[in-house]
Amino acid sequence: MSRPLRIQYPDAYYHVTCRGNEQRAIFLNSEDQKEFLRLLSRSLEIFSVRLLAYALMPNHFHLLVCTPKGNLSEFMRHFNISYTGAFNRKYKRSGHLYQGRYKAFLVDRNNYLLEVSRYIHLNPLRVKSQAPLERRWQDLLISDETSLPGYLDFKNHQDFIHYETILEYFGPEDRKSRDEYGRFVSEGVGRDIPSPLEKGKGTGIVGNEDFIREVKERLARDQKDSKLLREQPALRKLGQSMTSDELIDRYARLVGMSRDEIAVKGRQSIERGMLMELLYRFCHITQPEIGRLLGGVDYSAVSQARKRFRMKIRHDPELAKKFSRIQDHIGQMSRIKI
């Protein structure tokens, strides 16, 4: 049987899983799990991927992610290489850690996202155990092996988890929505609820008929556009993003500063953070590349600068309007580029 296609597009949701090679453990202790989550958080930030839920099992993991930039393959390649390298160095081993490629199901947000999140959070309870189910459930509520504790109590909140998407099914992110989500998950404890992933076997899509039809239509359009771009160089040129140099020059003119002035300005600079965010959104380059363009800073400095800027525009309406105007202007220039 042929394996499902890798379907990628902006703002898609996926259930992702990866198993240890020959069913071997990928976590030998809690420190391995902490390192896994640390590297996961870093990869999420580098590739602007949102993590909605996770579960860490002894020989595999589950992730529920959204890819605003349509870059699941790049994200997973970077992350899996990062953790494999860390694991191999720690245990003085070499070779593959995982069994083949990761598996990914495209998830219909409107109809199956909630079910998939529950499936992931209850995964540890599916392992055979002599311990009473109630005790295992209580342990799960306080364990870092899944993202569930952060959903149920804000004091367990983890900065790299995007809780809002799931909790908004129950209203604003508050005590009430957390309690209702907790009840929803607990309803699945001890019950033989069919896995929502069964829906995706064969197609790689967990969704209703309308969603599957929309995805197939999107694939057909993308394949047609790809063929046109291969056959007509002029169209290919038209579809390219503006270069980083072009964006920096245009941005400098818009904010009334020289390129050199922006590049050498202090790391807390609003203008510098705004430029980093624009480069990431419009030029499809990585954070290390942005750092090299702006004075040779490393990717973590870029990540922090972008994060600070995004926080500022949430709390400063005037700055948010300014950013929106500049973003619209650059977007228009990008679309008319020949």
In CATH, which superfamily holds the domain spanning 12-207? Transposase IS200-like (3.30.70.1290)
Secondary structure string (H, E, C) spanning the chain: CCCCCCCCCCCEEEEEEEEEHHHCCCCCCHHHHHHHHHHHHHHHHHHCCEEEEEEEECCEEEEEEEECCCCHHHHHHHHHHHHHHHHHHHHCCCCCCECCCCEEEEECHHHHHHHHHHHHHCHHHHCCCCCCHHHHHHHHCCCCCECHHHHHCHHHCCCCECCHHHHHHHCCCCHHHHHHHHHHHHCCCCCCCCCHHHHHCCCCEECCHHHHHHHHHHHHHHHHHHHHHHHCHHHHHHCCCCCHHHHHHHHHHHHCCCHHHHHHCCCCCHHHHHHHHHHHHHCCCCHHHHHHHCCCCCHHHHHHHHHHHHHHHHHCHHHHHHHHHHHHHHHHHHHCCC
Right CATH for 244-335 from 3.65.10.10, 2.70.150.10, 1.10.150.130, 1.10.1750.10: 1.10.1750.10
Average confidence (pLDDT) per 10 residues, the chain, 338 residues: 66 95 94 96 92 97 94 93 95 92 93 96 89 92 95 93 93 90 93 87 89 83 57 44 84 88 69 89 80 83 85 84 83 52
Domain spans, the chain: 12-207, 244-335
pTM: 0.69
